[in-house]
Chain A
Amino acid sequence: MPEYLVRLVQVHESFRKAELEALAELAGVDISFVHYLEDSPFAIVSLPSDHAATTVVSRSILSQGIYEFWGRGSTYDELHESVKTRSSSKWKQYEMTPFRFVVDGYRGARSQTEQREIINSFSYLAFKGPIRMRNPDETFSVFEDYDDKADKPKALYFGRFIAGSGREAKTTYDLKKRHYISTTSMDAELALLTANMALAAPGRLFYDPFMGTGGFPVACAHFGAVVCGSDIDGRSIRGTGGSARKGQTGKMDVQGNFKQYGLEPRYLGAFVADLTNSPLRTVQTRDDSTYDGYLDGIVCDPPYGIREGLKVLGSRDQLNETERATHLDRFRDEGYIPPKRAYSFTAILDDVLEFAAATLVVGGRLSMWMPTANDEDVELAIPTHGCLELVSVGVQPFNKWSRRLLTYRKVPRSQAQMVEGGRLGTARNPYEKGVKADDLNDFRRKYFQGFKELEKLRNETNETTGGNS
């Protein structure tokens, strides 16, 4: 298979490989990594054709472009040698083509004069076509990879441009320019990445059970999927909860976001619901004939219980007879608000998996975010389910905690694994018990304790510096 150079971006490194693999699966082509380093934005992959390369990378959020791989080396002498051995057969083809050369450095740059020298050193390619800096037929790129603050590059690559990526969508969907967002909206880059991981594509049906202001469904719709969503808080869907943006007035709702991006035709609608009492039809995974669901993908970022409370329907304590009677009496009244209670975080993750297993089609994907503290004593176990196979785990690290994007695929019934107790379900670990949010959510407790520790540390430093001055 021909080899291609992928110019990646140097952010969210742990997602880059997984994204390209997901996009290759979506395109139905095989991809293999010939050369890949976590600390380098240059990867070499093999793909069946230029067409496949274009299809894969044109949707990618974490790359900038893909190039036909012509050579590499750690010095220019090595690079020229490599280009001569690898690609001399291709030179003739571009002899008269209008072209341009570009020098692209990572963690280093070259002056105009140096760039010209570098480009001239490729004169042996003997291209006689006109040089066009705008709209050339072919672009040839020299890539330089520097160590931090180094004055000489450590690695050099040369390639012919094939296709750009889908990264400009990050700018189109930038939260700063979105009409309606909330405090916990996922940033556009990661929302689009999530949609890629879940294989959102034209014709497919996607669902987000914790939609909020609809960031994930919008991202999936961008890639052509038809989307719907739900949230336990109807105000976020209807947009009657006030805007998260200072000084913004007027009616803002999820529908409006779809309108803003011209994606309304792909918005199926939203409803108010709680995942633990979901109105969506579920299939019996035990039974062969009903194993296949109807959703092509589920994307979600469940509330972590920090900025957005983790609540489900129900009351803190079992209702007594009089209380039940009161609810029965009043529930039809205007302004009746169903009671909600705090819920265990590990339990909701298992519930999402259970729900995904009972609604996804075979091969359908679940992409779900899950926070975890960086110190290992509250490392949350990655939830598992007999009908779901873990495809990839990406990590976005923060200072004291990090979050992971877990991607699962629903396996055919014949490959489903029984979990303990011979069930086809989640390997349910014991959940946190209690009624208060803190008792029910280890991550939340740790998070706020973490701030206490940090504050203590800061106070101590302040005291010492205060004493010195």
Chain B
Amino acid sequence: MKLLTLNFLTCAIKTCKTSEASFPLHPRDAELEIVETDLNLPFLKNILPRLMWEEIRTIASELGLPDLPTTAPTREDLVENNAEVQASLQNQTAESAEPAVEEIPSQTAKDLHRILLETCIKDGKLVCGNCAHEYKVMEGVANFLLPGHLV
């Protein structure tokens, strides 16, 4: 499972949902794997405001990944912003309405892509910070089915 999914997952137990401690789930004994994929800039831009930045930083540090900046990047931070690109963009708007040069993802975008969409939890556990219930991850698929006494 890609780390981005942890941005949306909390404890499945209903009584935990109201507690702030149930989000994010904490990876434990996690075996990580890097699966390289193409960088999807429109997706990163779209998803950026929906990221719970503090929580993602927590997860990244718990997994021993490189530190993320303290404040969340903005959409502008995701594209290369050098003078050359700016100039060519301006030229284009003068000539035609449709941009011919693609936006270039910045290092920030690449780092974010690496952590959220290329880093996967292959095996391990996800633990609720509130009730300490453990959800197993096997072959990259997390299991959130609750045992009989917790439903």
Interface residues of A (CB under 8 A from B): 202-205, 226, 228, 230, 232, 234, 237-238, 264-266, 268-274, 277-282, 294, 296, 313-315, 319, 323-325, 327-328, 331, 336, 338-339, 361
Whether A273 and B148, one on each chain, are in contact in the complex, defined by CB atoms closer than 8 angstroms, is no
Q: Complex formed: what's the CA distance from A204 to B72 in Å? A: 20
Q: A279-B10, A328-B149 are in contact. Are A269 and B45 (CB under 8 A)?
A: no
Q: A269-B1, A313-B151, A327-B149 are in contact. Are A237 and B141 (CB under 8 A)?
A: yes
Q: Does B46 contact A (CB under 8 A)?
A: yes
The B contact surface, by secondary structure, is mixed
Q: Does B71 contact A (CB under 8 A)?
A: no
Across the A-B interface, how many residue pairs have beta carbons closer than 8 Å?
119
Whether A266 and B141, one on each chain, are in contact in the complex, defined by CB atoms closer than 8 angstroms, is no
Partner pick for A277 among B25, B42, B151, CB 8 A cutoff? B151
Interface residues of B (CB under 8 A from A): 1-2, 4-5, 7-14, 17, 23, 25, 37-38, 40, 42-43, 45-47, 50, 117, 120, 135, 138-149, 151
Whether A234 and B141, one on each chain, are in contact in the complex, defined by CB atoms closer than 8 angstroms, is yes
Cβ of A184 to closest chain B Cβ, rounded Å? 20
Interface centre among B4, B9, B142, B144 (most CB of A within 10 A): B144
Q: Complex formed: what's the CA distance from A336 to B148 in Å? A: 10
The A contact surface, by secondary structure, is mixed
Q: Complex formed: what's the CA distance from A269 to B37 in Å? A: 13
On chain A, the residues within 8 Å of B25 by CB distance are 279
On chain B, the residues within 8 Å of A271 by CB distance are 1, 5, 9, 141-144
- Chain A minimum-CB-distance residue to B145: A338
Interface centre among B9, B46, B120, B149 (most CB of A within 10 A): B149
Whether A228 and B46, one on each chain, are in contact in the complex, defined by CB atoms closer than 8 angstroms, is no
On chain A, the residues within 8 Å of B9 by CB distance are 271, 279-281
Q: A226-B43, A269-B1 are in contact. Are A277 and B14 (CB under 8 A)?
A: yes
Q: Complex formed: what's the CA distance from A271 to B25 in Å? A: 14
Q: A234-B141, A271-B1 are in contact. Are A203 and B45 (CB under 8 A)?
A: yes
Partner pick for A273 among B4, B117, B145, CB 8 A cutoff? B145
Whether A268 and B148, one on each chain, are in contact in the complex, defined by CB atoms closer than 8 angstroms, is no
Whether B38 and A272, one on each chain, are in contact in the complex, defined by CB atoms closer than 8 angstroms, is no
On chain B, the residues within 8 Å of A273 by CB distance are 12, 144-145
Partner pick for B139 among A238, A323, A338, A339, CB 8 A cutoff? A238
Whether A277 and B13, one on each chain, are in contact in the complex, defined by CB atoms closer than 8 angstroms, is yes
- Chain A minimum-CB-distance residue to B140: A269
Partner pick for A202 among B4, B43, B120, B151, CB 8 A cutoff? B43
On chain A, the residues within 8 Å of B5 by CB distance are 228, 268-269, 271
On chain A, the residues within 8 Å of B40 by CB distance are 202-203, 226, 265-266
Q: Complex formed: what's the CA distance from A237 to B141 in Å? A: 8
Q: A203-B45, A228-B5 are in contact. Are A323 and B148 (CB under 8 A)?
A: yes
Q: Complex formed: what's the CA distance from A270 to B141 in Å? A: 6
Whether A272 and B148, one on each chain, are in contact in the complex, defined by CB atoms closer than 8 angstroms, is no
Partner pick for A281 among B10, B140, B143, CB 8 A cutoff? B10
On chain A, the residues within 8 Å of B17 by CB distance are 282
